[in-house]
Amino acid sequence: MKEYSVTEINTHIKSVIADDFALRNICIKGEISNCKYHTNGHIYFTLKDERSAIRAVMWKSVPRPDFRLEDGLEILVQGQVSVYEFGGYYQVNVREVKRSGLGELYLKLDMLKKMYSEMGYFAPQYKKKISPFSTRIGVVTAKTGAAIRDIYHIAVDKNPYVEIVLYNALVQGTGAAESIVRGIETLDKKGLDVIIIGRGGGSIEDLWAFNEEIVAEAVFACETPVVSAVGHETDDTITDLIADVRAATPSDAARIAVCDINAVFEHLLRYRTTLKTFALKKAEDLKQKLKSYGLKLSLNSPRHRLDKKKLALSESRRKLDNLLRTRCERCRFDLKSRSLRLTSVMNTVLEKERFRLRNAVSKLELLSPLKSLSRGYGYLETTDGHRVSGIDDIREDEIVKIYFTDGHVKALIKEKIYGTEGSVGEQLQKT
């Protein structure tokens, strides 16, 4: 026979129990004993009845119930049976804890939630929006309950002009569901802005009328937006899930449904300011546009065109005067420049001619008889006035005139001597 270890046996038993569909999600009723809130956040306890007991653990990740677990308390737990391999015992891993006696109602509520969810009653596309300016409010609740007083006080505080239409309905016990349905159908025909359905808090039995199928169908079929105001927070009723808006309390329902008159006044004031600003801006824009049109009209008027032509003519005259002045200045400058150049050229020519004249005078002086006379020479002339240029121009015994620089003399030619000995050059060499 094959031998097995303790671990193998416990592991096998754990897998067998884990594969059992009935043990995956099971409800167990019993009394709490040996309850311990551990420092690690887990809750360990034993669930027992008159003849037997089973260990249970609620891990710290599991949502806690709205009451404290204590020894001797009878509860209904929902969870999964599992084997703790290291200890060799089985236990219930608790997912939810409820007080005993309410198990059937909770199971029925879960069934209704699943049914209506599959039918699409909770779908967002069926939710109607609440008007932000609701002033006619219908309320389906008991006229003697605290819910209507809370709704009324909150509604009047937010808007003293609000109209509240109450349908006095039973909200608990026999006939409550039918009474709520009649209230919904009656108020839905009055053309109200919104209908509030609800009551104050209570146990699941007290609130069960809001889970009835006829109430769910009436809320879903109502054409007026519905606010559910069942005063509880631990579980959602079917009415909460089907209604267009879910409020935690009747007071919250009034705050959601009733139009805040002060907020309306503030909105109107902002709208007025915005409208005034827009009107002023529009008027300013039109004024600027009118001014622009007037400017364009004045620019295209005959007077403006004439003034423009006059201005252009004046500008042309000014440009012409400037041009003439510039050209006159330029001509004056050119004339002055040319005059200076002409004067310079004339001075140069005159200086050149003066130099030539001085050279000519010098040459002429060199050739002048007076120059020669000043050096001791004389000018000979016959008595009849003929110049004597050579010895053959005179005769012996002829009287001639000899001119000097300071006068003349008359001389009688005694003898003519030919040859170099009697020439002037020879005499100059001797001197």
Kindly state the average pLDDT of the residues 109-117: 88
Give the start-to-end residue ranges of the domains of the chain. Answer: 6-101, 126-259, 371-430
Tens-place pLDDT, residues 200-252: 877 777 888 999 999 999 999 999 999 999 876 556 889 999 999 999 889 99
Type of residue found at 227: V
Q: Give yes or no on whether 6-101 and 126-259 have one common fold.
A: no
CA 334, 336, 339, 343 dihedral sign is: negative
Token pair of 159, please? 């808007």
| The pLDDT of residue 430 is above 80 | no
Q: pTM of the predicted model, to two decimals?
A: 0.47
Three-point CA angle 69, 72, 74, nearest 5°: 75
Q: At what angle do helices 213-221 and 103-119 cross, to 10 degrees?
A: 30
Is residue 387 within 8 A of residue 381, CB to CB? The reply is yes
CA distances from 276 to 155, 284, 286, 291 (A): 32, 12, 15, 22
**Structure confidence at residue 178 (pLDDT):** 95
- State the DSSP H helix or E strand holding residue 400, giving kind and residue range, or none if neither: strand 399-404
Considering the chain, what percentage of its residues have pLDDT values greater than 70? 92
> Which numeric CATH code is attached to 126-259?
3.40.50.261
Residues 6+ apart with CB under 8 A from 418: 391
**Structure confidence at residue 193 (pLDDT):** 94
Q: Model confidence at 101, in pLDDT bands (50, 70, 90)?
A: low
Q: What is the distance between the alpha carbons of residues 49 and 74, in angstroms, rounded to a whole number?
A: 9
Tens-place pLDDT, residues 60-92: 999 998 888 888 788 889 999 998 888 888 999
Determine how many CB atoms are found less than 10 A away from the CB of residue 294.
10
Q: What's the topology of domain 6-101? A: OB fold (Dihydrolipoamide Acetyltransferase, E2P) (2.40.50)
